[in-house]
Amino acid sequence: MARLRALLMVVFISAIALNQILVNAKFSKSMYFASGANNQSTMLGNGDNLQLVLDKTAGTRIQSKQAFLFGAIQMLIKLVTGNSAGTVTAYYLSSSGSNHDEIDYEFLGNVSGQPYIIHTHIYTKGNGSKEQQFYPWFDPTDGFHNYSIHWNPTEVVWYVNSIPIRVFRNYENKGIA
């Protein structure tokens, strides 16, 4: 009887784990989209894909129409080749209000021949002293790479190509903002 109960529990948990509900979201309905002066950034397909372009004069901004308390976001990014000094490629999650919270990736441009540095930041209650930097183990200009952020009540995890590179744990219950 115990064996049958254990088997039914495994089947039940597996059924829950495999039953993923897909969200039918479209950028055109869920995001504000502002193409820069270059007007090269576009919505593709039926509004379910974006191509964001950075050129010598402008970039692109997107912003969700809805606020999210927890979740995940990922971007496929190919960084600028050659001398990219003065260029900042970034994506970030940001709160509104007087106590600014932010989670981000930043890639600061560099002089030709120098490696890029991956910057990860977290701002809590306006304090931005929680930056960490990483040298990539790959060439971020040689194709698109997946940069993801997963956040929940207990931690924030930054991933590059599905490999976790940083974990920031929430110790607010121990008095740490």
Cα angle: 100, vertex 133, 77; to 5 degrees: 80
Write out the E strands in 12-87.
31-35, 42-44, 49-51, 60-64, 71-77
State yes or no: is 131 an active-site residue.
Answer: no
Nearest CA to 163 out of 138, 142, 131 is that of 138
Q: Look up residue 130 and give its two tokens.
A: 């929680």
User: Using an 8 Å Cβ cutoff, are 160 and 150 in contact?
Assistant: no
Other C-beta atoms closer than 10 Å to the C-beta of 10 total 10
Which of 106, 131, 155, 172 does the annotation list as catalytic? 106
> Which residues are known catalytic residues?
102, 106
